[in-house]
């Protein structure tokens, strides 16, 4: 059975999007050689990306562009080549290459994918998807980059989760740019 991993940036006050639903704060002022190597290493893995519609549209508006390739060619190539799955009740088709749209039964579809997929699955952004799959016990790892910023308002990845989910810290790594990578697994 394949793992389902969440990878998101979060602010010091626990938000993964700001009060306007934006994530651009997660990329501001983070560049250093160690961080760049970490990002390139993360982008080099095999797997499929999982999105909700909002995150899919955000990613699709940037990664297939020449600007993305100019700014970060390794990550852009990887994002564009990887298999992508988007859960949406409203999106009829996907324009980003290698993308499949699934319209219903989020938990059931994810259970089936975890059992049948030859590659791992990683959710980026997509708090609505996370908050539905977490209580079902379908997420195996929560990987977060804690960013040195306080947003004051926004949304957590776990809005709507109604019961306690115990986790244990599996790995952490601090970077010179102030970011801290945290990996949690089920306790």
CB 131 within 8 A of CB 161: yes
Distance CA 43, CA 151 (A): 27
Vertex 23: Cα angle to 139 and 4 (nearest 5): 15
pLDDT, tens only, 17-37: 999 988 888 877 667 888 888
pLDDT, tens only, 146-157: 999 999 999 999
Report pTM: 0.91
Rounded to an integer, the average pLDDT of 37-58 is 85
91 burial (CB, 10 Å; 0-12 / 13-18 / 19+) is: middle
Distance CA 127, CA 160 (A): 10
Nearest to 58 by CA among 104, 28, 20: 20
pLDDT for 47: 87
Domains of the chain: 4-186 (3.40.430.10)
Mean pLDDT for all residues in the chain: 92
pLDDT for 46: 76
In sequence order, the 6+-apart residues with CB closer than 8 A to the CB of 10 are: 16, 144, 145, 146, 147, 156, 157
Instruction: Kindly state the percentage of the chain with pLDDT values over 70.
Output: 97
Rounded to an integer, the average pLDDT of 84-104 is 94
Rounded to an integer, the average pLDDT of 175-185 is 94
Please report which confidence band the pLDDT of residue 71 belongs to, taking 50, 70 and 90 as the band edges: confident
Distance CA 179, CA 147 (A): 5
Distance CA 94, CA 170 (A): 35
Three-state SS sequence of 59-114: HHHHCCCHHHHHHCHHHHHHHHHCEEEEECCCCCCCCCCCEEEECCCHHHHHHHHH
């Amino acid at each position: 059975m394949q793992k389902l991993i969440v990878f998101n940036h979060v602010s010091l006050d626990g938000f993964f999007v700001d009060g306007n639903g934006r994530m651009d704060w997660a990329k501001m002022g983070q560049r250093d050689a160690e961080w760049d190597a970490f990002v390139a290493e993360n982008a080099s893995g095999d797997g499929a990306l999982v999105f909700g519609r909002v995150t899919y549209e955000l990613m699709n508006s940037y990664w297939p562009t020449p600007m993305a390739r100019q700014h970060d060619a390794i990550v852009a190539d990887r994002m564009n080549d990887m298999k992508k799955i988007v859960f949406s009740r409203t999106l009829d088709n996907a324009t980003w290459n290698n993308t499949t749209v699934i319209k219903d039964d989020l938990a059931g579809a994810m259970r089936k994918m975890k059992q049948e997929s030859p590659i791992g699955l990683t959710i980026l952004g997509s708090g609505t998807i996370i908050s539905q799959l977490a209580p079902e016990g379908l997420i195996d790892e929560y990987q977060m980059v804690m960013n040195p910023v306080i947003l004051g308002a926004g949304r957590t990845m776990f809005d709507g989760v109604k019961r306690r989910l115990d986790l244990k810290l599996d790995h952490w790594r601090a970077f010179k740019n102030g970011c801290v990578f945290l990996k949690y697994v089920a306790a």
